[in-house]
């Protein structure tokens, strides 16, 4: 075999940095109705329809043969109707004859009575994932699964859990504690609800006689969960003067009960949750930088429900079944299912559960468009909330002078989604 010898004076090419495995994924369509499954993308420029869906196990006689065509003129993914009988719908709007439309990540397609959600980089396999503890997430929380695998390799003692109100942070904290082997009841504390005068006694306990009415010693929350985990909710609302009292716990796992002369060592996993940007709070002077630094040993961001639309109908079905009204596909109108997937869900899981309660009161065991519109109102015009377009992102970032937290708020997405979008375009 010939040996290739390089000229010792020749300059070698510099290798490009490797792409994070978490950013890789396959382009796919996720069927979210009438059944849930992932489909590989069909060949570009090839008209597909009823037989293509049937080969994937989706029988829909309202789909034509052929029905639609996917293409990539100049990059990206585009779709056009192939002269179908019932039309092709993008995010609730029917394509005009001969119209070719771009498919940004997260676009919802309706063909016949089938709903397909486009993902440009689906993590994991095509099959839906089983529940994560008490969290139902067939596709939308695979980033959390990857994070938990890393926790098992290097277990953190402090975890910062971020996410909008109603995204399931307490359920996620249970899952994190279980993954890290912390058994027993999770000690949940709403820091925003504790009066400042009772803060130390409530968390760290007190000795007998420490204050008026303290007739006997109390271990309270943290010492009572020694060997387990505590969930400190709303840490971003903790008053500035109380924040130093958590530093010893987070750094050395030491607590000092009120009135005690010595500290007590504890072995406890601390999971702190917030729906605020703590970096922004540090810049504003309302949160201590040293406290944030200790919390950043591990960081988990839960996406809002509008960023995981492929999970919506599964969550709706689970909520209806838990109330005694299991849904059958023949009692669900595709337009009603489409409307629920496209809804922005600004209050996340709490709003979804309240919506299901109202729907089941109107039409038990069914989902029909008249009931959905009575509960949610008519659909709002314009692009679906949470969908990012490059020109819009650039404009909003410029208006916010590069402040990603403010730009994400204006765009209606999480900071994590905005960062991922910007990284893909880099």
Show pLDDT as tens, one digit a residue, over the chain (426 residues). Answer: 566 566 667 788 888 777 665 556 899 999 999 999 999 999 999 999 999 999 999 999 999 999 999 999 888 899 999 999 999 999 999 998 888 999 999 999 999 999 999 999 999 999 999 999 999 999 999 999 999 999 999 999 999 999 999 999 999 999 999 999 997 789 999 999 988 888 888 888 756 444 444 444 455 788 888 999 999 999 999 999 999 999 999 999 988 776 666 778 889 999 999 999 999 999 999 999 999 999 999 999 999 999 999 999 999 999 999 999 999 999 999 999 999 999 999 999 999 999 999 999 999 999 999 999 999 998 765 555 455 666 667 777 887 878 887 777 777 677 777 777 777 654
Neighbours of 60 (CB within 10 A): 19
**CA pair distance 302, 289, nearest whole angstrom:** 22
What's the pLDDT at 20?
A: 63
pLDDT (0 to 100) of residue 217: 40
Task: Report the DSSP beta bridge partners of residue 109.
Answer: 90, 116
**C-alpha 101, offset from chain centre:** 27
Q: How far apart are CA 304 and CA 307, in angstroms?
A: 6
pLDDT value, residue 210: 46
Residue 162: is it exposed, middle or buried by C-beta count within 10 angstroms (0-12/13-18/19+)?
buried
pLDDT at 151: 93
Cβ atoms of residues 131 and 121 within 8 Å: no
Contacts of 33 (CB under 8 A, 6+ apart): 113, 114, 115, 313, 329, 332, 334, 337, 338, 341
Contact 325, 332 (CB under 8 A): no
pLDDT at residue number 6? 64
Residues 6+ apart with CB under 8 A from 356: 316, 319, 320, 323
| Sequence-separated (6 or more) residues with CB below 8 Å from residue 88 | 67, 68, 79, 80, 81, 94, 95, 109, 110, 111
d(CA 363, CA 225): 45
Residue-level pLDDT at 198: 84
Q: What pLDDT score does 209 carry?
A: 41
Q: What is the pLDDT of residue 390?
A: 67
Q: The whole model's pTM is what?
A: 0.84
pLDDT at residue 215, rounded to an integer: 41
Strands 229-233 and 269-274: parallel
């Amino acid at each position: 075999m010939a040996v290739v010898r390089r000229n010792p004076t020749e300059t070698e090419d510099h290798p490009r940095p490797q792409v994070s495995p978490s950013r890789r994924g396959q382009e796919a369509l996720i069927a979210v109705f009438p059944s849930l499954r992932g489909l590989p993308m069909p060949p570009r420029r090839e008209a597909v329809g009823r037989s293509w869906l049937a080969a994937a196990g989706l029988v829909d006689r309202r789909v034509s043969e052929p029905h639609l065509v996917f293409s990539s003129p100049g990059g990206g993914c585009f779709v056009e109707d192939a002269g179908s009988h019932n039309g092709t719908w993008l995010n609730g709007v029917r394509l005009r004859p001969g119209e070719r439309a771009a498919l940004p990540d997260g676009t919802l397609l309706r063909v016949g009575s089938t709903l397909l959600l486009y993902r440009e980089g689906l993590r994991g396999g095509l099959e839906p994932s089983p529940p994560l503890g008490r969290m139902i997430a067939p596709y939308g929380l695979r980033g959390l699964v990857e994070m938990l695998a890393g926790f098992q390799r290097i277990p953190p003692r402090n975890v910062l859990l971020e996410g909008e109100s109603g995204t399931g942070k307490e359920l996620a904290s249970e899952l994190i504690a279980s993954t890290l082997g912390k058994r027993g009841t999770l000690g949940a504390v709403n820091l925003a609800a504790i009066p400042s005068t009772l803060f130390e006694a409530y968390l760290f306990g007190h000795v007998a006689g420490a204050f008026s009415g303290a007739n006997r010693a109390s271990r309270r929350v943290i010492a009572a969960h020694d060997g387990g985990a505590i969930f400190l909710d709303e840490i971003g609302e903790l008053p500035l003067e109380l924040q130093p009292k958590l530093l010893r716990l987070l750094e050395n796992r030491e607590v000092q009960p009120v009135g005690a002369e010595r500290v007590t060592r504890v072995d406890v996993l601390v999971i702190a949750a917030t729906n605020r940007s703590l970096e922004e709070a540090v810049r504003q002077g309302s949160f201590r930088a040293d406290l944030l630094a200790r919390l950043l040993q591990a960081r988990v961001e839960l996406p809002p429900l509008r960023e995981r639309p492929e999970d919506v109908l599964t969550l709706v079905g689970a909520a209806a079944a838990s109330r005694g009204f299991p849904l059958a596909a023949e009692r669900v109108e595709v337009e009603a299912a489409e409307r629920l997937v496209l809804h922005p869900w600004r209050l996340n899981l709490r709003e979804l559960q309240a919506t299901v309660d109202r729907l089941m009161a109107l039409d038990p065991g069914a989902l029909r468009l008249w009931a959905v519109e009575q509960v949610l109102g008519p659909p709002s015009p314009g692009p679906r909330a949470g969908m990012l377009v490059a020109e819009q992102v650039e404009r909003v970032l410029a208006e916010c002078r590069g402040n990603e937290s403010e730009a994400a708020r204006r765009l209606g997405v999480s900071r994590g989604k905005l960062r991922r979008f910007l990284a893909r375009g880099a």
